[in-house]
């Protein structure tokens, strides 16, 4: 962020997986590995992608609903091990930025009134590694699953607004899942759904839809015309 502000500060919150980065290949592979390690039949790809955005315990409680809590906990641990190994093996390439994401983030970051943040089901360690790998240093508030109830609880957004002192009317939540949109509605902020992620666009019920990262700056100017 550079220069003096000329209007009220605005908070732009992004989901990560399925919104900023395309991590579906790694997520599906690591979830499959975790189930196989426990001698279980892995879920179908669509089922795995349907829980992206939830915190891991909630995600595994859904994917392995027929299993005992100890087995679900073992699956959580197995997924974390597999994901960390993939991250170390492949680096940032295991979660590439979507086309246009970098340019959009840089454009928004250059607007003095805009503060950027993330609200993600990732762990603190996972988010830190992704930020380092892609050099995403522009985020002033970073809300992760370690410190909040799982989406769609609004805690992440409420905390981000509290940290920045920005009210709901000047905040947007951008994401690809119903969990992101429900979280945004519960927090009273404007929701922006993206159609390139892991949940069908028709199910999002977002205030606005985005089909191209390049259109985001203009959309925000329409949402906040003053």
Domain stop point among 93, 108, 137: 93
| 3 state SS of 17 | strand
Of 15, 170, 176, 180, the catalytic one is 15
Residue 191 within any structural domain of the chain: yes
Q: Is residue 17 annotated as a catalytic residue, yes or no? A: yes
Torsion of CA 168, 208, 148, 198, to 10 degrees: -170
Residue 16 within any structural domain of the chain: yes
Q: Is residue 176 annotated as a catalytic residue, yes or no? A: no
Residues in the chain: 226
Q: 35 and 82 in one domain?
A: yes
The two three-digit tokens of residue 43, written as one number: 């879920």
Closest CA to 18 of 75, 85, 98: 98
Q: 152 and 85 in one domain?
A: no
Q: 145 and 68 in one domain?
A: no
pLDDT in tens, the chain (226 residues): 445 667 899 999 999 999 999 989 899 999 999 999 999 999 999 999 999 888 899 999 999 999 999 999 999 999 999 998 988 888 776 789 999 999 999 999 999 999 999 999 998 988 998 999 999 999 999 999 999 999 999 999 999 999 999 999 999 999 999 999 999 999 999 999 999 999 999 999 999 999 999 999 999 999 999 7
Q: How far is CA 89 from CA 21, 32, 63, 66, 171, in A?
A: 17, 18, 26, 32, 37
Domain range spanning residue 47? 24-93
Residue 122 backbone class (left: φ over 0; alpha: ψ -120 to 50; beta: rest): beta
- Given a contact cutoff of 8 angstroms between Cβ atoms, the answer to whether 193 and 185 are in contact is no
């Amino acid at each position: 962020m550079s220069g003096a502000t000329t209007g009220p500060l605005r908070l732009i919150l992004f989901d990560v997986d399925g919104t900023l980065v395309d991590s579906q290949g790694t997520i599906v592979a690591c979830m499959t590995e975790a189930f196989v390690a426990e001698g279980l039949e892995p879920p179908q790809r669509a089922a795995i992608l349907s829980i992206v955005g939830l915190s891991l315990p909630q995600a595994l409680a859904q994917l392995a609903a027929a299993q005992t809590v100890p087995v679900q906990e073992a699956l959580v641990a197995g997924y974390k091990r597999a994901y960390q190994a993939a991250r170390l093996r492949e680096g940032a390439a295991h979660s590439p930025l979507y086309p246009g994401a970098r340019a959009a983030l840089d454009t928004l970051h250059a607007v003095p009134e805009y503060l950027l943040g993330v609200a993600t089901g990732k762990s603190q360690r996972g988010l830190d590694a992704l930020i380092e790998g892609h050099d995403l240093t522009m985020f002033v508030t970073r809300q992760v699953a370690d410190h909040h109830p799982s989406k769609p609880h609004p805690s992440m957004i409420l905390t981000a607004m509290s940290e920045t002192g920005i009210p709901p009317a000047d905040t947007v939540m951008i994401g690809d899942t119903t969990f992101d949109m429900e979280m945004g509605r519960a927090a009273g902020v404007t929701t922006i759904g993206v159609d390139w992620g892991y949940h069908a666009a028709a199910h999002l019920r977002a205030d606005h839809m985005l089909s191209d990262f390049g259109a985001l700056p203009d959309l925000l100017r329409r949402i906040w015309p003053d």
